[in-house]
Amino acid sequence: DTAVSQTPKYLVTQMGNDKSIKCEQNLGHDTMYWYKQDSKKFLKIMFSYNNKELIINETVPNRFSPKSPDKAHLNLHINSLELGDSAVYFCASSPGSGYTFGSGTRLTVV
Amino acid sequence: AQKITQTQPGMFVQEKEAVTLDCTYDTSDPSYGLFWYKQPSSGEMIFLIYQGSYDQQNATEGRYSLNFQKARKSANLVISASQLGDSAMYFCAPPRQLTFGSGTQLTVLP
């Protein structure tokens, strides 16, 4: 069983569209995260949720909206996609220290 | 602000040789730790090894070990007997992992 699963793995879409990336973890971890990895491989945290509560919201455009219906799920919705949103997005979960990552979603905005 | 530094953007090592990847953590917290992750070209993030500042001995996991120097706040990753499959990006990160290092691209040469 995949511990942290993200869907889709690849996403190609046009500028201006709205898209969602889903993340689910079956590890029972309390905390989930979204990271963005740019073309230079730099990993930057976007959001963190603990038991469905938003605890970290880094400087991210408000076109990005995370949603956590329960502590096993953290979805990322992106409105009005821009070329600069092209990146790999990683979901991760943690029991408090250390991460288990999803396999990533490669988003390409054309 | 706490800062994690990896000074080697790229490293080359001959197959079967050992290699050390550097990581330092600028923190005033006397209790800290450092994680290492591997990201192969397939893109997934794989946890390798962790050490806390109060651990008595350097952490070891198979061919991976940490050269932990508390005074320098560094936890350098040592990979022994390098294999071609070790070619990947390597990231270090502190607990809570709000920030990752910029990564080191390791290439193992046949």
Per residue in A32-55, pLDDT tens? 999 999 998 999 899 999 888 888
Interface touch A99/B47, C-beta < 8 Å: yes
The terminus-to-terminus CA distance of chain A in angstroms comes to 34
- Mean local confidence (pLDDT), B83-94: 95
Supply the pLDDT for residue A95: 84
Decide if pLDDT at B21 tops 60. yes
Supply the pLDDT for residue B46: 92
Closest CB to A56: pick one of B33, B98, B103.
Answer: B98
- Residue bearing the bigger pLDDT, A75 or B26: A75
Lowest mean pLDDT among A97-101, B36-40, B77-81, B82-86: A97-101
Decide if pLDDT at B96 tops 80. no
Question: Considering only CB atoms, which residues of chain B are within 8 Å of chain A?
Answer: 33, 35, 37, 39, 43-47, 50, 89, 91, 93, 95-100, 102-103, 105
- Mean local confidence (pLDDT), A89-94: 94
Contact of A78 with A63, CB cutoff 8 Å: yes
- Mean local confidence (pLDDT), B10-36: 91
Supply the pLDDT for residue B69: 87
From chain B, pick out residues whose CB is under 8 angstroms from the CB of A27: none
Which among B89, B52, B15, B43 has a CA at the least distance from the CA of A96? B52
Q: What is the dihedral of CA B50, B41, B104, B20, to 10 degrees?
A: 60
Size of interface A-B (CB pairs under 8 A): 46
- Mean local confidence (pLDDT), A86-110: 91
Supply the pLDDT for residue A68: 93
Q: Confidence class of residue B1 from pLDDT cuts 50, 70 and 90? A: low
Interface touch B98/A98, C-beta < 8 Å: no
Decide if pLDDT at B4 tops 80. yes
Q: What is the dihedral of CA A36, A8, A97, B92, to 10 degrees?
A: -50
Q: Confidence class of residue B55 from pLDDT cuts 50, 70 and 90? A: confident
